[in-house]
Amino acid sequence: MDRKKFFRIKKPSLNIQEEEQLIISLQSDKDSNAAFNKLVALYQQRLYWHIRNMVKNHDDTDDVLQNVFIKVYKNIQKFKGDSKLYSWMYRIATNESITFLNQKAKKYNISDQELSQQLIQNLEADIYYEGDEIQLKLQKAIATLPQKQQQVFNMKYFQELKYREISEILETSEGALKASYHLATKKIEEFLKNN
């Protein structure tokens, strides 16, 4: 079994001209609905797995994903093209996921770390989880990381994004991301050795 199967999805490929045309259609009055349907078809699965890597639970992921597409729809007129369209949507998905997790931790009056551990425990009972014991152990190791390191590790390792792409999404320098990823991998290796 592929060690990344559960949490990885290939990214859709739009060339620059196709992306520009999609943005024009999204921002036009007459073509926006058809263009939005195309956008959802292109990015729904990829954003689902990005969010799922963070919130772990299928139903919660669906709720966050719906909120992401609502925000994209409401704010597409404000998109200026300073980054790639998927980077902009990833940023929205990341922020929505963090907000969701923070609200959940606050609701249960627990720390982010405690929530992260709880989500991993619940993952074992999740009927949508297809991972094996090794994948579950890796998820437990990732859950021990600070939130930012988790994000960087998930985007680099599972989604195979380039540091440049992660930098656009998280609005952090590539150097800081490389350091964060390096620290995350060391901590994960240490966890896997000792558990």
CA distances to 37, 146, 147, 163 from 151, in Å:
28, 9, 6, 12
**Confidence (pTM):** 0.85
pLDDT above 70 covers what percent of the chain? 93
Whether the pLDDT of residue 10 is over 80: the answer is no
| Per-residue pLDDT at 5 | 43
Whether the pLDDT of residue 155 is over 50: the answer is yes
What is the spatial distance between Cα 120 and Cα 112, in angstroms, rounded to a whole number? 13
Which residues, including other chains, have CB under 8 Å from residue 155's CB and lie 6 or more apart? 50, 161, 165, 166, 169
| Per-residue pLDDT at 9 | 52
pLDDT above 90 covers what percent of the chain? 63
Angle, CA of 184, 188 and 191, to the nearest 5°: 140
Dihedral-angle region of residue 8 (phi above 0 means left; psi in -120 to 50 means alpha; beta otherwise): beta
Whether the pLDDT of residue 8 is over 90: the answer is no
Average pLDDT, the chain: 88
Spatial contact of 108 and 150, defined as CB atoms under 8 Å apart: no
Sorting pLDDT into bands at 50, 70 and 90, what band is 79?
very high
| Per-residue pLDDT at 4 | 44
What is the spatial distance between Cα 139 and Cα 116, in angstroms, rounded to a whole number? 10
Whether the pLDDT of residue 1 is over 70: the answer is no
Sorting pLDDT into bands at 50, 70 and 90, what band is 126?
confident
Per residue in 15-72, pLDDT (tens digit) is 888 888 999 999 998 889 999 999 999 999 999 999 998 999 999 999 999 999 999 9
Whether the pLDDT of residue 6 is over 50: the answer is no
173-186 mean pLDDT: 97
Whether the pLDDT of residue 78 is over 50: the answer is yes
